[in-house]
Structure formats: C-alpha cells, structure tokens
Amino acid sequence: MQNNSHAAELQQQLQGRWSTLLNRLHNDPKVKQMMETKFGQYLSGHPVVALTVLVFGAMAALPVGLFLMFALVTIIMSAVGFVFFEVSLLFVGGLTLLCVLSGLGFFSVMVSLIFSVFYTTIFNIHSYYDPRMTKKHKVLGKESESETSTSTPTKQEEVQ
C-alpha cells in the first residue's frame, strides 16, 4: 500500500511541476506573440501537428548542432594548421636566409683575403723589380743620383 501512495504522491508532484512549467511557458511574452500568429493558432488547434513540429525541431537540433560543431572545429583546425604551416615555412625560410648570408659572409671574407694576398704579392714583386715605387727607395734613389752626378758626368756634360 505504501508503494501505491508513494507513487500517487510522486505523480501529483510531477503534475504540479508540469503545470507550473506550462503556465510559465504560456505567460512568456514571446510565446504569447507567437501564439497570436496564424501558425500559432493553427498549432493550438491541431495538437498532433504541434507535437510533430516539436519532435522534428528537437530531433533536428542534434544533427544541426553536430554539423555546426564539425564546421567550427574544421575552421579552427584549418586556421591552426595554416598558422603552423606558415610558421614552419618561415622557419625554413629563415634557416635558408641564415645559411645564404653566412655563405655570403664567408665568401666575401675569402675574396677579401685573396685580393689582399694578391695585392701584397704584386706590390712586393713590383717593388722588388722597380725600387722607385717605395718612398724608401725614392729617397735612396735621389741620394744615389746626387752622388753619381758629382762623380760621373751627365750626358750634357759629356756632349760639351
């Protein structure tokens, strides 16, 4: 007996909650506005169609929600993937630029070193064969010319 009375009590509580929920729903201004339209009046007069629309709306919400979540996740993943792809491309490009610039720096140092060696070698060879190229030799060359001019006659003196 207690089970029957407990079940009846639960049924009355559920019925009270259900009626409170329906009253709140009917008193909502948006629902009142919708019920004043022709579609709302039609659904009010045909409860089977109203139940069908309600079930279809509830059942369609899940696939539409899943599709929207799939679309949102796809957009986010493609944006994140694009960012990672761009970062990886920038990283590879930066490393390539670093290697090229390092190579250019090494090449310019080597070319500069080679030109310095060529310049020094050519200058030393030239100054060895032509001592008038250096200041030291120019000073010595002028002193030796003055010494030779006093001791040996020049071409003009020989002609006279």
69 vs 62, 64, 76, 81, 157, CA distance in Å? Answer: 10, 9, 10, 18, 114
Q: Which of 2-11, 99-108, 125-134, 137-146 is predicted most confidently?
A: 99-108
Using pLDDT thresholds of 50, 70 and 90, give the confidence band for residue 48.
Answer: very high
Interatomic CA distance for residues 126 and 134, integer angstroms:
10
Domain that holds residue 124: 26-152
Kindly report which listed range (50-54, 80-84, 91-95, 151-155) carries the lowest average pLDDT score: 151-155
Give the predicted TM-score (pTM) of the model: 0.43
At position 82, the amino acid (one-letter code) is F
Domain membership flag for residue 53: yes
- Contact 149/155 with Cβ under 8 angstroms? no
Choice between 10 and 94, residue whose per-residue pLDDT is larger: 94
| Cα-based angle 114, 116, 118 (whole degrees, multiple of 5) | 70
Interatomic CA distance for residues 39 and 49, integer angstroms:
11
Mean pLDDT of 62-88: 95
- Residue with token string 């993943």: 77
- Residue with token string 């010595």: 140
Domain membership flag for residue 96: yes
Domain membership flag for residue 108: yes
Mean pLDDT of 134-155: 54
Domain membership flag for residue 83: yes
Domain membership flag for residue 5: no
Domain membership flag for residue 138: yes
The count of structural domains within the chain is 1
Domain membership flag for residue 1: no
Domain membership flag for residue 3: no
Give the per-residue pLDDT at 3.
73
Interatomic CA distance for residues 127 and 125, integer angstroms:
6
- Residue with token string 């001592």: 131
131 DSSP 8-state letter: G
